[in-house]
Each structure stands twice: as C-alpha cells, then as structure tokens.
Amino acid sequence: MKAYFISGLGCDRRAFQRIRMPEGFDIVHLEWIPPEPQESLHDYSVRLARPIDASLPFILVGLSFGGMAAIEISKVKQPEKLFLISSVSSWRDLPFLYRFCGMLSLDRIIPASWLKKPNVFINRFFGPLNKQTKPLFNQILEDTDPFFLKWALGRISRWRNEQVPSCLVRIHSRNDRVFPGKKFRTGYMLSRGGHFCVYTNGPEINRILAKELQTIHSRDTPPDLL
C-alpha cells in the first residue's frame, strides 16, 4: 500500500529520514509545488494530490503545514488512515496569535528574505534543536523558497477548516512551540522532543505507525498468510 508523505513548512523529505514504515507500505513523497497567486490551501492541496491513485487504498502522513494540506486532500481523496505529526486538524487548534496575524494580514509585510535566514527566534520556535538537528533544520530552511514560505504563512493564519476526518491519528509533542500540545486531548502525546519530533523521536513514532497500521495490514492480508 502506498503511504504518501507531505513535509512541513520550511522542510522537505529530509525531515522524514528517520521514519521507517512497516513491511507492505511504500513511501511516496509529495514534493511541494509552486503556489498560484492568491491560491487557497484547498485548491493547492488538490493540485498537490494529483499523483495519488485514489482507486487503490492509501494512507497519508502530514507533517506540520503538510498535515493541514493532508486534511484538505482527505476531503477529495479518502485515505485509509491520516496521520498528523506536529500539526493541527482544524482552525480551532491554531493559537489565537496566528489567527490574529491572519486577520491583520501581517504575513504580507514580512520580508521574504528574512524567512530564508536561520536565526535565534526561528531555531527556538521550531526547537528544542540540538547539535544534530539544528544544522539539518537550518540547511532545509535555507533550501526552501522564501516566497512559498510567505504564501504558506498566510494560508496557515487564515485557515478555517472545521471538517475533521474519522480516520485521523494525531502524533504530537508536549513541548511543541509551534502548535502547543496542551490544546490537544486525543492521539499520541510524546513527552520528549519539540515541533521537530519527527526527527528527534523517530523510533518512537515508528512504533506508533506500526501499531496503527497493523489493523490495515491484517485486513488486507489473506487469512492463510496470517
């Protein structure tokens, strides 16, 4: 079964390098594409999902902003399971400050060049980062299109989704500073790591994925092979 992975804002497939899927699941990375001017997150996500063959069962794994895109994709292509890592499922999960910035359209006045440069604020915000994760995160950030970052910040702050799929499985860290974990009462809450827990807590997340996907694997395997 295909497992489509969507990375986070300022990240790419390198963020998932410590993730290992159970046998029988093949990872396919949906790489970010350039957004159209004033394009909504839903319309963008529909374009991003074009490589998904919805005629076959599949699962979605979305990291941070990629989780929001995965939520929008699930409205048009139904996954067997939808995993959100360090992400949100509706606009009500967003911190008030984000929504307030969206109402004021502050994202439109942030210089795109500022978003390209790793700095103390960004490193602390996405942390805690250590001597292993900080260089990786900074390199990924430097490789990301700053205009895409600006567009995405606007989509996050003005997201108004209320439709949460029943196949959702949330994986989050209590120490997440981007989307504070205290707002979430369901799913798996990791005691260590931060917003970049997909890398720092890779083995722990792998065990959760294996547990949640065991039912799908058993259902799709002929009885004589179990």
Q: Which fold has domain 2-225?
A: Rossmann fold (3.40.50)
Give 143-172 pLDDT, tens digit per residue: 777 788 888 888 888 899 999 999 999 999
Contact indicator for 23, 46 with CB cutoff of 8 Å: no
| pLDDT at 225 (0 to 100) | 35
| Cβ-proximal residues to 1 (8 Å cutoff; 6+ apart), any chain | 24, 25, 26, 56, 57, 58, 59, 80, 216, 220
| pLDDT at 224 (0 to 100) | 41
| pLDDT at 14 (0 to 100) | 86
pTM: 0.84
Give 76-110 pLDDT, tens digit per residue: 999 999 999 999 999 888 876 666 565 655 556 56
Low-confidence residues in the chain, pLDDT < 70: 96-133, 136-137, 183, 185, 217-226
Beta strands in 7-145 (DSSP E): 26-29, 58-63, 81-85
- What does each C-alpha distance from 157 to 39, 98, 108, 120, 146 come to in angstroms? 14, 5, 11, 22, 17
Mean predicted lDDT score pLDDT of the chain? 82
